[in-house]
Chain A
Amino acid sequence: MTHISSITENDIHAYVDGVLDKERCAAVASWLEAHPDAAERVQAYKDQKALIRDAFDAVFDEPVPIELTNEVLKSRGFRVAIPWPRIAAGLVLLMLGGISGWSVRDQWPERATMPAPIAGNALSAHAVYVSEVRHPVEVGVDQEKHLVAWLSKRLGKPLRAPGLAASGYGLVGGRLLPDNGQPAAQFMYEDVDGNRITVYVRRSLEARETAFKFTSQENASAFYWVDSGFSYALAGKLSREELLSIAEQVYKDLNQN
């Protein structure tokens, strides 16, 4: 056993914070057994620490306000860092793809290019609402809690609005939509330049997870997948790569718990 006199106030706090090595930790623990007053104080500190965490963890879990995300994204450094040559190359490829796609349009049966229903509905809803200036959403992000609770209730299963801050998109709000007689939810996001993407969600009959699938229409593209009883579609006027990386973030965000 370590010398009793060698336990200091610093040891007590390091003990509370769990940063002592095993040996020292054991020494403090046995010292505390002999010093009930100190033991009581240690317990109070531990309770206090737990209470503080408990009280403020909710702030940590809140979605980040769009002003804060924008503060980071509007930096000039970020704009300078946009890889223009790569984007230009991507545009050229897109144009080539468009031309070759057009030239073979009659050679493919229509069905092969028909997107799955969720993607089609998501893309229609996307097209209708992203261009809406005055009422892009039914419930705005200022009432996010209410929005999510409401949509969860309507879809009959707890739902979340994925956080897309890391991709540079902040939540604008959401709305309830009809999807073949079933309720569906649309969340809209916006980047600092006002570009919008939407996440479309509805209950899925399929229990199993599916891989990301891609579909593209005239004005927007979508990735769609099934995960944990929901069908998702992410729609936006972005390249396949950009959209995929955001879709991956949606998936990741919804699966972190």
Chain B
Amino acid sequence: MVEQISLITEQIPHLRRYAAALLADRDNADDLVQECLARAISRHHLWKPTGTVRTWLFTILHNLHVNQIRDQKRKPEFLSDPVGYEQHGELPRQENRLEVRDLQRALQKLPDDQRAVLLLVGLEGHSYAEVALIVDAPIGTVMSRLARARDGLRKIMASQSATDLKVVK
């Protein structure tokens, strides 16, 4: 268990980075990671050493996020501005940079399942097979989500930069 603890601890920066990109709101992102860790710890006996601890943790985080989205859709009155920073003006920490803000805005416009795959591959460097495990989908589905996400993001950012009269590329 002690060994697992340190394997889990090692993954926290990865989980935080992924959650920050997935959710845009840093506090929500850390809450999600915290919930993921709590669940991982309470269920560590369910971890089968077939995959890596890393894949296992990302699977837990992914499922929690999917549940959150489902709950939000069920209770639309709580679905306020999902990109909260647009109201509050300033983003926490380093996300103040204009380019980063554009990127976050664009990412939030992607469908959830596409954004997840895009970030798992592009940001966290999971293999396609690992992503298929994490999101529990056939690899073909993963590939098509990735393709749609990349193309979608390209188009969103191109139109954003056209509106903002700003070069993104």
Q: Which residues of A are interface residues toward B (Cβ below 8 A)? A: 9-10, 12-14, 16-17, 19, 41, 44-45, 47-49, 51-53, 55-62, 64-65, 67-69, 71-73, 75, 77-78, 80-81, 165-166
Contact = CB atoms under 8 A, between A and B. Distances in A.
29 contacts: A9-B143, A13-B143, A13-B150, A14-B128, A44-B154, A48-B150, A48-B154, A51-B103, A52-B103, A52-B107, A52-B118, A52-B123, A53-B122, A55-B100, A58-B93, A58-B94, A59-B20, A59-B21, A59-B94, A60-B16, A62-B93, A68-B16, A69-B9, A71-B38, A72-B8, A75-B5, A78-B1, A78-B5, A166-B10
A84 to B, nearest CB: 13
Contacts of A71: 34, 37-38, 41
Most buried by A among B30, B97, B121, B123: B123
Contacts of B97: 55
B37 A72 contact: yes
A55 B38 contact: no
A120 to B, nearest CB: 33
Which are the 4 A-B pairs with shortest beta-carbon distances? A75-B41, A60-B17, A71-B37, A81-B1
Nearest to B104: A55
Interface residues of B, number: 47
A52 to B, nearest CB: 5
A49 to B, nearest CB: 5
A13 B146 contact: yes
A44 B156 CA distance: 12
A48 B150 CA distance: 8
Interface centre among B12, B118, B128 (most CB of A within 10 A): B12
Contacts of A64: 12-13, 16
A75 B44 CA distance: 10
Contacts of B163: none
A75 B30 contact: no
Interface in B89-139: 93-95, 97, 99-100, 103-104, 107, 118-119, 121-123, 127-128
Contact of A69 (B12, B42, B103, B104): B12
Contacts of A48: 122, 150, 153-154, 157
Interface of A is mostly: helix
A52 B119 contact: yes
Nearest to B150: A45
A209 B104 CA distance: 44
B40 to A, nearest CB: 8
A111 B131 CA distance: 62
Contacts of B8: 72
A60 B143 CA distance: 26
B165 interface: no
A41 B158 CA distance: 12
Contacts of A55: 21, 95, 97, 99-100, 103-104
B150 to A, nearest CB: 5
B9 A165 contact: yes
Contact of A166 (B6, B42, B94, B104): B6
Given A45-B150, A165-B12, 13 more contacts: A9-B147, A12-B147, A13-B150, A48-B122, A52-B122, A55-B21, A55-B104, A59-B13, A59-B21, A64-B12, A71-B37, A75-B5, A165-B9
Given A48-B150, A64-B13, A73 B5 contact: yes
Interface in B30-46: 30, 33-34, 37-38, 41-42, 44
B14 interface: yes
A16 B5 CA distance: 34
A67 B9 contact: no
Contact of A78 (B2, B10, B122): B2
